[in-house]
């Protein structure tokens, strides 16, 4: 009986531990504490001050799985804010603002100044003006569904916005928390949601110390209210896409304020990081989702801003990437792969010239200064210059080995000789392109069935950008895709070199201890021995017409013979001692 009790107790405890997601809990605690710390740093960016909403989303949606430690950290967010002093409520349209002017606390009191004598503090009047603009933009112009009613929570069914710096948190712009899972959103007439959540918002009582106070308040209101709208479609919408949409909305409502420009280094400095990266996958890139708003900007410029509404609707049933793909295929004669490819090219050209459409941005001139070639290009500190000698590149050996799902690698290349660039390995989820650029035009070449691209008119182009676009939308890891490419003389150049190659004899084959290179003026030639893996065994300038291979292991090798650094002959040889 005692043994049975022990087994039962073990199973009971194990089941309790299994019910708790320790990894999730620890990650959320860590992100929360780091967020608090980062928000207070002198050099904190806006992304360090808008960090709380996605964490609260995970907390509320996964509350029953959290450890007791995590629940203790986040318990205060499970109830609506309590504001000190006499709480006032001002209603406007679909919103109700909760605030105080007499708590005696600087981080709670709204400045009571009432210049127009309407019995409403000017700060609240300003908020009403902001949310009137946002409401019109979102619900009237874009047709986004109004967030669901929260019943009598907060006093009535209108959307509650609590004004308190204390409740917002030190250094935090503001946040939205999902409140209750309702299923369907009664405010949508033509669709049925299954996981809609009501929510509430917390904003600061002032934005002193947050840069331009008007800009800070404006973009925070647009950003956070977009989260409220998103929760009204689906509380389980992926966080990366929620942040993309919310950050894009800052540009959509308040174009010219440009607070979100400071995020763009995430895409322009690290284009090989996954578009749909979630926080916690690669800690050093947490917050990357804010920079990905530029993809939403590109997407809406090539379609219509209202496409975001359609994608949100599809996110009720589908993951975000699938939702985007389905909408593009259904109504825009495109696809996610095509749009992402065009987006990748647009980020190189960075132009607003209509003649370059669809590879354009309306505000390209504003984005261009933010692109640093040494970061944007994989070989930015050492661009390729093809003069006839072979160039080889391995992403694993020569690069940063980081091409994640839905990301792009770029390279800088100039050439004085016609060339062929060959990519490997072949993969249907990876696209290899060559962008050819001159001062007045550009052209795009895609790898042929042999995974090669040949350029026989180098005199027409100033530079080239080899582009590796990876899709793999179903991949859930951040494991890099490893690839290689080589740049060699084009077929035309090879034919010219073959005239020289015919004058060179290599023997014996198989070789025992020496190989003879029968050619005139051998001093102008260099010999390289390559094994079957492509590894260079030795490379030396010829000082006589025989080379010693006695120390090289038996096997099959390739001899590359160069004249003045141009490859003129390749021959397979067997070494057999």
Give the tens place of pLDDT for each residue, 496-520.
Answer: 444 455 678 888 999 999 999 888 7
Tokens of 450: 């042999």
Q: Which residues contact 377 (CB under 8 A, 6 or more apart)?
A: 383, 410, 411, 412, 465
* C-alpha separations of 431 from 100, 139, 268, 337, 357 in Å: 57, 39, 20, 10, 20
Q: Where are the alpha helices (DSSP H) in 236-368?
A: 239-253, 265-268, 288-291, 293-302, 307-314, 320-331, 336-349, 364-367
Q: How far apart are CA 560 and CA 307, in angstroms?
A: 55
Tokens of 412: 């800088």
Tokens of 413: 């290349």
Give the model's pLDDT for residue 491. Answer: 55
Q: Are 274 and 478 in contact (CB under 8 A)?
A: yes
CA 391 to chain centre: 29
Strands of the sheet containing 391-394, edge to edge, are 391-394, 484-489, 419-424, 452-455
Q: How far apart are CA 183 and CA 191, in angstroms?
A: 12
Which residues of the chain are under the pLDDT cut of 50? 1-18, 492, 494-499
Give the model's pLDDT for residue 540. Answer: 85
Q: Which residues contact 145 (CB under 8 A, 6 or more apart)?
A: 139, 185, 187, 188, 191, 229, 232, 233, 309
Q: Identify the CA nearest to 367 among candidates 287, 462, 440, 260.
A: 260
For the domain spanning 367-491, the CATH number is 2.60.120
Q: Which residue matches tokens 């406007």?
A: 92
Burial 556-566 (b: 16+ CB within 10 A, else e): ebebbbbbeeb
Give the model's pLDDT for residue 535. Answer: 76
Which phi-psi region, left, alpha or beta, contains residue 169 (left: φ > 0; alpha: ψ -120 to 50)? left
pLDDT in tens, 225-274: 999 999 999 999 999 999 999 999 999 999 999 999 989 999 999 999 99
Which phi-psi region, left, alpha or beta, contains residue 257 (left: φ > 0; alpha: ψ -120 to 50)? alpha
Give the model's pLDDT for residue 15. Answer: 46
Give the model's pLDDT for residue 30. Answer: 87
The verdict on whether omega for the bond into residue 306 sits within 30 degrees of 0, i.e. cis, is no
Q: Where in the chain is the domain with CATH 2.60.40.10?
A: 503-575
Q: How far apart are CA 65 and CA 22, in angstroms?
A: 8
How many CA atoms lie less than 13 Å away from 574 in the CB half-sphere? 3
Strands 546-548 and 555-563: unpaired
Name the strand (E) or helix (H) holding 541: strand 536-541
Task: Write out the DSSP string of 25-60.
Answer: HHHHHHHHHHHHHHHTSTT--GGGSS-HHHHHHHHH
Angle at 335 between CA 333 and CA 338, to 5 degrees: 105
Q: Which residue matches tokens 């009403």?
A: 128
Task: Write out the DSSP string of 519-540.
Answer: -TTGGGEEEEEE-TTS-EEEEE
Tokens of 262: 């400071």
Angle, helices 307-314/213-233, rounded to nearest 10 degrees:
40
- In three-state secondary structure terms, 254 is coil
Q: How far apart are CA 305 and CA 84, in angstroms?
A: 41
Q: How far apart are CA 426 and CA 407, in angstroms?
A: 17
Q: Are 97 and 125 in contact (CB under 8 A)?
A: no
* C-alpha separations of 83 from 103, 160, 356 in Å: 8, 13, 54
* C-alpha separations of 317 from 56, 57, 226, 487 in Å: 22, 19, 19, 45
User: Which class is 503-575 in CATH?
Assistant: mainly beta
Task: Write out the DSSP string of 445-479.
Answer: EE--TTSEEEES-GGG-SEEEEEEEE--TT--S-P
Tokens of 232: 């009204």
Q: How far apart are CA 56 and CA 471, in angstroms?
A: 30
Q: Identify the CA nearest to 406 among candidates 512, 490, 527, 322.
A: 322
Q: Where in the chain is the domain with CATH 2.60.120?
A: 367-491
């Amino acid at each position: 009986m005692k043994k049975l009790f022990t087994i039962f107790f073990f199973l009971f405890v194990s089941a309790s531990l299994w019910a708790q997601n320790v990894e999730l809990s620890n990650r959320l605690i860590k992100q929360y504490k780091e967020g608090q710390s980062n928000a207070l740093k002198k050099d904190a960016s806006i992304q360090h001050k808008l960090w709380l909403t996605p964490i609260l989303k995970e907390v509320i949606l996964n509350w029953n799985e959290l450890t007791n430690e995590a629940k203790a950290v986040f318990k205060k967010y499970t109830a609506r804010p309590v504001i000190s002093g006499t709480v006032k409520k001002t209603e406007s349209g679909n919103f109700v603002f909760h605030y105080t002017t007499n708590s005696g606390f600087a981080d709670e009191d709204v400045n009571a100044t009432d210049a127009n004598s309407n019995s409403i503090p000017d700060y609240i009047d300003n908020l009403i003006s902001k949310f009137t603009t946002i409401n019109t933009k979102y619900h009237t112009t874009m047709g986004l569904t109004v967030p669901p009613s929260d019943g009598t929570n907060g006093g009535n069914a209108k959307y509650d916005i609590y004004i308190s710096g204390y409740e917002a948190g030190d250094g935090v712009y503001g946040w939205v928390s999902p409140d209750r899972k309702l299923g369907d959103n009664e405010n949508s007439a033509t669709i049925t949601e299954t996981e809609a959540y009501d929510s509430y918002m917390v904003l600061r009582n002032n934005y002193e110390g947050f840069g331009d106070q008007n800009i800070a308040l404006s973009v925070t209101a647009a950003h956070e209210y977009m989260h409220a709208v998103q929760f009204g479609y689906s509380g389980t919408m992926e966080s990366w896409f929620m942040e993309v949409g919310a950050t894009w909305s800052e540009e959509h409502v308040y174009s010219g304020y440009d607070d979100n420009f400071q995020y763009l280094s995430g895409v322009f400095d690290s284009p090989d990081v996954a578009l749909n990266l979630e926080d916690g996958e690669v800690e050093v890139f947490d917050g990357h989702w804010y920079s990905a708003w530029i993809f939403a900007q590109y997407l809406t410029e090539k379609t219509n801003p209202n496409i975001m509404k359609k994608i949100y609707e599809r996110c009720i049933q589908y993951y975000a990437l699938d939702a985007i793909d389905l909408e593009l295929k259904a109504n825009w004669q495109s696809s996610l792969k095509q749009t992402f490819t065009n987006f990748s090219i647009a980020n190189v050209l960075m132009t607003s010239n209509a003649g370059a459409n669809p590879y354009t941005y309306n505000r390209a001139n504003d984005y261009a200064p933010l692109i640093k070639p040494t970061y944007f290009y994989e070989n930015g500190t050492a661009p390729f210059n093809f003069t006839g000698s072979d160039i080889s590149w391995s992403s694993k050996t020569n690069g940063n080995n980081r091409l994640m799902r839905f990301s792009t690698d770029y390279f800088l290349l100039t050439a004085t000789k016609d060339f062929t660039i060959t990519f490997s390995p072949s993969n249907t989820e990876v696209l290899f392109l060559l962008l050819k650029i001159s001062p007045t035009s550009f052209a795009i070449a895609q790898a042929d069935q042999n995974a090669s691209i040949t350029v026989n008119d180098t005199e027409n182009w100033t530079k080239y950008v080899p582009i590796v676009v990876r899709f793999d939308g179903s991949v859930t890891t951040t494991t890099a895709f490893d690839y290689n490419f080589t740049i060699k003389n084009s077929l035309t150049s090879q034919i010219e070199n073959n005239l020289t190659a015919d004058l060179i004899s290599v023997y014996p084959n198989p070789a025992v201890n020496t190989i003879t290179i029968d050619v005139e003026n051998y001093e102008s030639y260099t010999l390289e021995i390559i094994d079957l893996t492509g590894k260079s065994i030795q490379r030396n300038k010829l000082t006589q017409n025989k080379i010693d291979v006695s120390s090289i292991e038996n096997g099959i090798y390739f001899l590359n013979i160069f004249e003045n650094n141009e490859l003129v002959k390749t021959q397979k040889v067997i070494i057999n001692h």
